[in-house]
């Protein structure tokens, strides 16, 4: 009797193991699309910020300053992040800004405006003006590339800072040559954003350090009590 029971239990174990493998495979297939969709949305919301942080470091600019300018230029509310984000496919013309879902539609919008004779057009993360900065980009594709857009903005800001002697005046003149009017007002707006983003960045880095310590804590404890 015992061998028969053993054989029955063995068959049950094999069946259950096979079922778990099959269900796991289907779970992976069905979960692929939502995960990819979420990852794609996260990448889009982070495109400007990721490029800008690299450009800031490379140019030794004050932490989060260029990022704050981008929020003033192309910021839009992101419900998932519960914060404003700079949008890479922003087009501003005729006094109105539009956020397009991808590079292709943004380029089409710019070409349509140009056919209508509109020249004063701001594009991308940093809203570079195509009329005043004609030689900034070799193509519209490059203009809407986050890294190229941010790099040009950083170089322009550095030139303004060298000319004016301060980041405050550089930021103000990034928006308007009239410092006493629109320039100063713009700097005040960016300064508020800059302060908030530096606090946000500090909190994020602190949280990351705490998580890293939690992971390493057992290893540290072993070394200490060895």
51-99 pLDDT, tens digit each: 999 999 999 999 999 999 999 999 999 988 888 999 999 999 999 999 9
Query: What's residue 218's pLDDT?
Result: 80
* pLDDT at 15 (0 to 100): 43
Closest CA to 160 of 64, 66, 90, 51: 66
Tell me the average pLDDT of the chain: 84
User: Residue 19: its pLDDT value, please?
Assistant: 39
Q: Which residue, chain included where needed, has tokens 């054989």?
A: 7
Q: How confident is the model at residue 80, as a pLDDT?
A: 85
| Average pLDDT, integer, range 128-132 | 97
φ, ψ at 170 (rounded to 5°): -65, -45
Q: Closest Cα partner for 87 from 29, 58, 133, 127? A: 127
Q: What is the CA radius of gyration of the chain?
A: 26
Q: Which of 184, 148, 150 is nearest to 164 (CA)?
A: 184
pLDDT bracket for residue 226 (50, 70, 90): low
Tell the residue number behind the tokens 């490029």, with chain if given.
51
Domains of the chain by residue range: 47-224
pLDDT digits (tens, 9 = 90+) for 29-51: 333 344 454 445 557 778 999 99
Taking the model in full, what pTM does it have? 0.77
Of 75, 52, 25, whose CA–CA distance to 201 is shortest? 52
- Half-sphere CA count of 26, side-chain side, radius 13 A: 5
Instruction: Please determine, for residue 12, whether its predicted confidence score (pLDDT) is greater than 60.
Output: no
Band of residue 177 on the pLDDT scale cut at 50, 70, 90? very high
User: Residue 151, Cα to own-chain centre: how many angstroms?
Assistant: 15
pLDDT tier for residue 223 given thresholds of 50, 70 and 90: confident
Instruction: Please calculate the CA angle 175-101-156 and round it to the nearest 5 degrees.
Output: 25
Residue whose tokens read 């300018």: 69
22 — pLDDT class (breaks 50, 70, 90): very low
**Model pLDDT, residue 40:** 55
For residue 214, the model assigns a pLDDT of: 81
């Amino acid at each position: 009797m015992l061998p028969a029971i053993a054989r029955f239990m063995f068959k049950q174990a094999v069946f259950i193991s096979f079922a778990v493998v099959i269900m796991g495979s289907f779970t992976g297939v069905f979960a692929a699309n939502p995960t990819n969709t979420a990852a794609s949305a996260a990448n889009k919301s982070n495109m400007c910020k990721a490029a800008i942080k690299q450009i800031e470091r490379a140019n030794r600019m004050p932490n989060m300053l260029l990022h704050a300018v981008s929020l003033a230029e192309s910021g839009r509310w992101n419900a998932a992040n519960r914060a404003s984000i700079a949008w890479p496919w922003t087009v501003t013309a005729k006094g109105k800004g539009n956020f397009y879902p991808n590079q292709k539609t943004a380029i089409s919008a710019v070409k349509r405006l140009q056919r209508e004779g509109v020249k004063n057009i701001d594009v991308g993360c940093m809203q570079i003006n195509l009329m005043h900065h004609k030689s900034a980009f070799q193509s519209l594709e490059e203009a809407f590339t986050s890294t190229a857009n941010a790099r040009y903005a950083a170089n322009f800001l550095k030139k303004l800072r060298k000319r004016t002697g301060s980041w405050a005046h550089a930021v103000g003149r990034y928006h308007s040559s009239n410092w006493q009017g629109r320039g100063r007002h713009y700097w005040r707006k960016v300064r508020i954003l800059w302060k908030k983003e530096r606090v946000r960045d500090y909190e994020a880095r602190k949280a990351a350090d705490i998580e890293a310590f939690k992971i390493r804590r057992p290893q540290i404890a072993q070394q200490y009590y060895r």
